[in-house]
């Protein structure tokens, strides 16, 4: 579709339907929008849009509603994602920056996004595999036990205790701690094992056995923590918003949301540049339970790219510009907080 006027008609239909939840007729378009053409021309444009599959008539004598294809055209033709107001930005920043740790950041972000969008909010935990190591701490605990603490650049802290083959020498522990942090700080965890194993050949003979135990527990930690996690908030929003047809059919949506593997697959499919807002509409989600929904996400992380994603899921009849703006804003603040 290249006709700008018909795009204006489609935009008006989407906006009115989102606002009223009622099928939109030509008379309403004439009364509510200054399209600069006659009612007959608008009816012709609507007929062309319907023939192209962008709008549909839900039943005889009704107005028109957008189809998945119409919503996709509307989203793709948004010139820009409208910015949030200064007060909204300040409120987001203050709410998230008061968090005390990563778990608190994620919990606050998902609640906040559900409130901003009136949709189901989804926040994916930063991937341990894509994180970088900020520090390794080795703490002797008793004669033969050593606490290994991994601290990532995203604020994740993983702790494991190992039992040494021999009594732990604090001087050896100090040398290992210093050497490890000199070589691994800033490294992605995916490459950590290789880096640390290469150090074994450069250390004193007495340091090697303990180093290999540390390497083994780091590898075990990475394997155990490789499964991704997502947090949800706002599922009650699915039954609100005045869309009774959607409210009566939310069972399959709730079932899909309960399966984290479904959400993780969707998030993985939508993983693009950290600053990109991505929208999947209806059947684009490729899940039968979500065909009546749209999923808006954005990556957050660091300058090296997204390490996780944040998003909102709601009915096809959603405020796309507002939802996209809120998702983008929360993602940017998460990036800022984690980078700090």
pLDDT tens for each residue of 54-99: 999 988 777 899 999 999 999 988 866 777 888 888 888 888 888 8
pLDDT digit string (tens) for 84-139? 888 888 888 888 888 888 888 899 999 999 999 999 999 988 766 666 777 888 99
One domain, residues 106 and 160: no
Q: Are residues 70 and 168 in the same domain?
A: no
CATH number at residue 14: 1.10.10.10
- The two tokens of residue 305 are 């790219």
- The Cα 277–Cα 327 span in angstroms is 8
pLDDT value for 177? 86
Do residue 265 and residue 296 come from a single domain?
A: yes
Contact 165, 184 (CB under 8 A): no
Q: Decide if 32 is inside a domain.
A: yes
| C-alpha torsion sign, points 161, 166, 169, 175 | negative
Q: Within a domain: residue 60?
A: yes
What is the value of pTM for the model shown?
0.76
Taking 70 as the threshold, does the pLDDT of residue 263 lie above it?
Answer: yes
- Residue 205, pLDDT > 60, answer no
Residue 102, Cβ neighbours under 10 Å: how many? Answer: 17
CB 263 within 8 A of CB 235: no
pLDDT band at 303 (very low <50, low <70, confident <90, very high): low
Which of 184, 199, 224 marks a domain boundary? 224
What is the tally of structural domains in the chain?
Answer: 3
Q: How far apart are the first and last CA of the chain?
A: 45
Contact 127, 307 (CB under 8 A): yes
188 shares a domain with 147:
yes
pLDDT interval class at 1 (50, 70, 90): very low
Find the domain containing 192 and state its range: 133-224
At residue 14's C-alpha, the angle toward residues 116 and 89, to 5°, is 25
Closest CA to 295 of 107, 80, 120, 106: 120
Nearest to 279 by CA among 119, 58, 115, 110: 119
Residue with tokens 């075990």: 220
The answer to whether position 91 is within a domain reads yes
- Dihedral angle computed from the Cα positions of residues 179, 181, 183 and 186, in that order, rounded to the nearest 10 degrees: 180
275-287 pLDDT per residue, tens: 578 999 999 988 8
């Amino acid at each position: 579709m290249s006709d700008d006027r018909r795009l204006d008609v489609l935009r008006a239909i989407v906006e009115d339907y989102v606002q009223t939840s009622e099928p939109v007729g030509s008379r309403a378009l004439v009364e509510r929008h200054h399209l600069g053409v006659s009612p007959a021309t608008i009816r012709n444009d609507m007929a062309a849009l319907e023939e192209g599959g962008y709008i549909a008539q839900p039943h005889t004598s009704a107005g028109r509603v957008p189809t998945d294809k119409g919503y996709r055209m509307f989203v793709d033709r948004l010139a820009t994602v409208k910015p949030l107001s200064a007060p909204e930005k300040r409120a987001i920043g203050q709410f998230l920056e008061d968090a005390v740790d990563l778990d608190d950041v994620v919990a606050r972000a998902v609640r906040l996004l559900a409130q901003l969008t009136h949709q189901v909010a989804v926040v994916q935990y930063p991937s341990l595999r894509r994180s970088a190591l900020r520090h390794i701490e080795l703490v002797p605990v008793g004669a033969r036990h050593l606490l290994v603490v991994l601290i990532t650049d995203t604020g994740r802290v993983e702790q494991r205790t190992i039992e040494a083959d021999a009594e732990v020498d604090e001087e050896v522990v100090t040398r290992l701690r210093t050497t490890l942090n000199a070589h691994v700080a800033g490294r992605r965890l995916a490459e950590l094992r290789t880096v640390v194993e290469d150090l074994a050949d450069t250390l004193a003979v007495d340091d090697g056995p303990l180093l290999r135990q540390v390497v083994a527990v780091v590898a075990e930690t990475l394997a155990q923590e490789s499964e991704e996690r997502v947090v949800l908030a706002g599922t009650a929003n699915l039954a609100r918003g005045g869309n009774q047809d959607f409210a009566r059919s939310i069972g399959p949506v709730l079932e899909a949301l309960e399966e984290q593997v479904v959400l993780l697959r969707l998030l993985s499919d939508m993983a693009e540049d950290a600053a990109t807002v991505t929208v999947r509409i209806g059947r684009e989600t490729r899940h039968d339970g979500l065909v009546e929904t749209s999923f808006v996400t954005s990556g957050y992380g660091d300058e090296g790219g997204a390490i996780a994603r944040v998003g909102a899921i709601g009915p096809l009849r959603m405020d796309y510009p507002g939802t996209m703006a809120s998702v983008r804003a929360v993602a940017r603040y998460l990036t800022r907080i984690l980078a700090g």
